[in-house]
Structure 1
Amino acid sequence: FLDKDECSKDNGGCQHECINTVGSYVCQCRNGFVLHENKHDCKEAECEQKIHSPNGIITSPNWPDKYPSRKECTWEITATPGQRVKLTFNEFEIEQHQECAYDHLEVFDGESEKSPILGRLCGNKIPDPLLATGNKMFLRFISDASVQRKGFQATHSTECGGRLKAETKPKDLYSHAQFGDNNYPVQADCDWLLVAERSYRVELMFQTFEVEEEADCGYDYVELFDGHDKTAVRLGRFCGSG
């Protein structure tokens, strides 16, 4: 039995890499590319991502190889309502410039580039973690025509709490990211600020409530204040179920 090496002629018709197998062959693409429907050509991986998982990894295009030139990629991260999106950088290497005018990564506190900016990043120093005020974060990576570097790898996760805008249409708020699947974590300490337009009042209605019960709510509890912080008039401390 003699197996023919289909990759030996014209790379098997593969645009990037040809892998010879017993009785056949498969085409494979380099990092940053995915295999075309015709199973031979390669096309750039999607550069506009919408992420809804509570945690995961984000990388620059072509990671861990150098990112390509003239590239613009975006990531829109949406977490569970009542949670804040956190971005922690594991590796970071983007063309250095004092004002990050060339290659750079921008991080915004909201759902688009029109949201307040949390940082415009470049260079070789790993940035400090970035924390959104709410459950949305938007990233935009831009590279110019010259000088490519390795790029970045970052972990997105969630922390409880944050600022939420109350509107006439009811909106949900969850105690923890995996509500419905797991109990709330131990040692949790979460602060939410619910704000409304002037002349409107905030109304909070509990759809589900199950917190460790104790006569004076001295263990686990939810505490409500009529104002911006804990110095405001306390509306009540609640625990138990109902």
Structure 2
Amino acid sequence: VVSLLFRALDLESDSLCRYDYVDVYDGHINGQRLGRFCGTAKPGALVTNGNKMQVVMVSDANTAGSGFLAVYSAIRPNERGNEATNLLQSKYRNWAFPVI
């Protein structure tokens, strides 16, 4: 099971998240979408049912925030801890979110 926790979120704000957003999927992009996030309101921990999670960031290249910072970890199916083992980061100037 994969857990993802946003530590920072600063994307263009829009009530429908139409312009800049992060989608998080349980498994692949064809799986259940766990959420679409924009603006600065961070969701709680997102947890998959299996061992895969896909994170997709979309930007319209106009108004930009500073991006996002999230940590992910592998947890046992019955755990809901937030112990981070890896870091996922986005910065608009790089147009990428490398795993560090």
> If the TM-score is normalised by the length of the shorter chain, which range does it land in?
0.7 to 0.9
**Deviation >3 Å, runs of 4+:** none
Residues 1:96 and 2:13 are matched in the alignment:
yes
- Number of positions where the alignment pairs a residue of Structure 1 with one of Structure 2: 79
Letter of the structure 2 residue corresponding to residue 109 of structure 1:
D
Q: Mind listing any 5+ residue stretches in structure 2 that lack a counterpart?
A: 80-100
Structure with larger Rg: 1
Structure 1 residue 129, shift from structure 2 partner: 1.1
TM-score (norm: length of structure 1): 0.32
Structure 1 residue 143, shift from structure 2 partner: 0.5
Task: Determine the structure 1 residue equivalent to 2:43.
Answer: 127
Q: Mind listing any 5+ residue stretches in structure 1 that lack a counterpart?
A: 1-83, 162-189, 192-242
Q: Deviations over 1:14-40 (max 9, x none)?
A: xxxxxxxxxxxxxxxxxxxxxxxxxxx
Letter of the structure 1 residue corresponding to residue 22 of structure 2:
L
TM-score (norm: length of structure 2): 0.74
Task: Determine the structure 2 residue equivalent to 1:77.
Answer: none
Taking the aligned partners of 1:103 and 1:123, their CA distance within structure 2 comes to 8
Letter of the structure 2 residue corresponding to residue 103 of structure 1:
D
Where does 1:209-220 land on structure 2 (aligned, <5 Å)?
none
Letter of the structure 2 residue corresponding to residue 139 of structure 1:
V
Q: Secondary structure at the match of 1:152?
A: strand
Taking the aligned partners of 1:129 and 1:145, their CA distance within structure 2 comes to 28
Task: Determine the structure 2 residue equivalent to 1:146.
Answer: 62
Q: Deviations over 1:100-159 (max 9, x none)?
A: 01100000000x211110000001112211000111000100100310110100000122
Task: Determine the structure 1 residue equivalent to 2:75.
Answer: 159
